[in-house]
Structure 1
Amino acid sequence: MRYFVHIGYNGLQYNGWQKQPGVLNVQGVIEKYLSQALKTEVFINGCGRTDAHVHASQFFFHMDIEQEWDFDLKFRLNKLLPLNIAVFDIIPMEGLPHARFDAVQRSYDYFIHTYKDPFLNGLSSFYLLDNLDFDKMKQAAAVLPKYKDYRAFCTSPDKYEHTICNVMSASFAVDTNGDKLRFQISSNRFLSKMIRIIMGQLLKIGRGVLSVDEFENYLITNTTPELITPAHPQGLYLSKVTYPYLNLPPRVEFSSILQKQTDVTWRTL
């Protein structure tokens, strides 16, 4: 039987989702405790591969389990797993749907705060910046859905069969004080470090060292910027994954305080 498992995790201590030897990763930790709980070796397939120190407030993986369990697996997993990984739902699926390949849309949030706050450390990216030009950043973000080829904003474009991404939306929101910023972007797929590279370029626009036209020209010409400066990983969240047959709301009560604040008190630019 195939199951989809709906989880969230704080990625600060992990070297990304993907299992790899010698480093702490989310996939390896979950497989360890799943195998322990079910007393058989379990392998899982995730809906994506978040980078080191990147969070996921909504994430899915699938697993195939032959023998049905006779206990509350969600409860047991949440007891076994470290506090930075939470299991929200375990969903039996018909047939063999794939957590990664069947996803039709992924949405990410990127949070920035421009003042030093120890309570946001690790939940948002700290940039000591004054007077960011939010209007110009908004203009640049609005350009993104007009283009399909994101070769310019990828660290290793040649490792992909193609660099086409269907970016459906991109927008900014800011809190009432103007010192916390949220960038949201949705697409069918993302390339390696694509969002962090885009965010790094948008910060340059906000600081006035890059124009909106120069930013758009990278997309028109597929030219990689001479200096790629990806934004910090700590402010990035995989926040929504959508399937044709499964569209669960994120479990916001388990998400960062920033995400709850933006839905209530922030204004869209």
Structure 2
Amino acid sequence: MRYFFHIGYHGQAYSGWQKLPGIISIQEVLETTLSRVLKAPITINGCGRTDAQVHASQFFFHADLTVPEDVDLLFRLNKGLPSDIAIFDILPVEGTPHARLDAIQRSYDYFIHTYKDPFLHSGSALYLGKRLDLQLMKRAAALLTQYNDYRAFCVSPDKYRTTICTVSRAQLFTNEAGDRVRFHISANRFLGKMIRIIMHRLLQVGDGSMSLHEFEQYLIDRVPPKTIRPAYPQGLYLSRVVYPFLDLPRRTEFSTVFGPSESYWREVLL
């Protein structure tokens, strides 16, 4: 039987999702725990590949399993997994849907705080004392839905068959004090480090080191710069994955970095 697993994780201690030799990955920890509980080798397929130290407040993987009737798999997995990985739901599915290939939309949130806070340091990116023009950043973010080739916003663009991405939403939020920023982006697909590269350039627009024209020129010319600097990884969350057959709300209450409620964040207006 094929199962979809709805999970979340704090990625600070891991070298990303993908299992590779010599590193500690989310995938390896999950496969090891599943195999131990079910007493059989288990291979899983994730909905994407988050980078080292990147988090997910919503993530899905699928696996083909035979689960004994007397095994409470949700309880056993959560008991056996480390505290920074949580299983929210285990969903049996008909046929052979694929966690990565069948996703039709993914959303990410990137969090910034501009003051030192020991309770945010591993779940939000610190840009200490940054004075950001949020309205200008908002104007730059609004350009993202008007273009669809992100060749200049990824690492190693030549390895992709295409660098076309359809960005359906790009929003900028702040808290009442104006010292925290949240960038939200949704698209049908993303390229390597694309969001962190976009975020770094939005920050450059915000602090005045890049003009709005220069930002847009990357979208128009599609020429990657010689040096690419992504924003810090710990501010990034995969926050929503949607399928034609599955659209679950995210468990934002599991992450204090999202704020005590959605009303904590106010969209930046032009």
Residue deviations 1:214-238, cap 9 Å, x none? 1111111111134321000000000
Structure 2 counterparts to residues 170-181 of structure 1, below 5 A: 170-181=170-181
Contact 1:78–1:86, Cα closer than 8 Å, also in 2: yes
Contact 1:31–1:42, Cα closer than 8 Å, also in 2: yes
Could you tell me which residue of structure 2 aligns to residue 40 of structure 1?
Answer: 40
For 1:28 and 1:139, how far apart are their aligned partners in 2? 41
SS in 1 for 2:198: helix
Contact 1:10–1:54, Cα closer than 8 Å, also in 2: yes
Deviation at 1:261, TM superposition (A): 3.4
**Which region of structure 1 is more displaced relative to structure 2, 26-35 or 257-266?**
257-266
Structure 1 segments of 4+ aligned residues over 4 angstroms from their partners = none
Could you tell me which residue of structure 1 aligns to residue 242 of structure 2?
Answer: 242
The two structures have a TM-score, normalised by structure 2, of 0.97
Could you tell me which residue of structure 2 aligns to residue 260 of structure 1?
Answer: 259
Residue deviations 1:3-32, cap 9 Å, x none? 000000000000000000110000000000
Query: Residue type matched to 1:31 in 2?
Result: E
The two structures have a TM-score, normalised by structure 1, of 0.97
Contact 2:259–2:265, Cα closer than 8 Å, also in 1: no
Query: Residue type matched to 2:101 in 1?
Result: F
Q: Do structure 1's residue 65 and structure 2's residue 92 form an aligned pair?
A: no
Deviation at 1:33, TM superposition (A): 0.4
Could you tell me which residue of structure 2 aligns to residue 20 of structure 1?
Answer: 20
Residue deviations 1:33-88, cap 9 Å, x none? 00000011100000000000000000000000145442210000000000000000
For 2:179 and 2:27, how far apart are their aligned partners in 1? 35
Could you tell me which residue of structure 2 aligns to residue 163 of structure 1?
Answer: 163
**Which region of structure 1 is more displaced relative to structure 2, 60-69 or 167-176?**
60-69
Structure 2 counterparts to residues 227-238 of structure 1, below 5 A: 227-238=227-238
Contact 1:38–1:69, Cα closer than 8 Å, also in 2: no
- Provide the aligned C-alpha RMSD in A: 1.0
Pick closer, same or farther for the CA change 1:206–1:262 going to 2, 3 Å: farther
Aligned residues: 268
For 2:74 and 2:113, how far apart are their aligned partners in 1? 35
Query: Residue type matched to 1:147 in 2?
Result: Y
Structure 2 counterparts to residues 69-108 of structure 1, below 5 A: 69-108=69-108
SS in 1 for 2:58: strand
| Residue ranges of structure 2 left out of the alignment (5+ in a row) | none
Could you tell me which residue of structure 2 aligns to residue 3 of structure 1?
Answer: 3
Query: Residue type matched to 2:158 in 1?
Result: D
Query: Residue type matched to 2:142 in 1?
Result: A
Residue deviations 1:82-103, cap 9 Å, x none? 0000000000000000000000
Pick closer, same or farther for the CA change 1:197–1:87 going to 2, 3 Å: same
Could you tell me which residue of structure 2 aligns to residue 134 of structure 1?
Answer: 134
**Which region of structure 1 is more displaced relative to structure 2, 114-123 or 47-56?**
114-123
SS in 1 for 2:259: helix
For 1:108 and 1:51, how far apart are their aligned partners in 2? 13
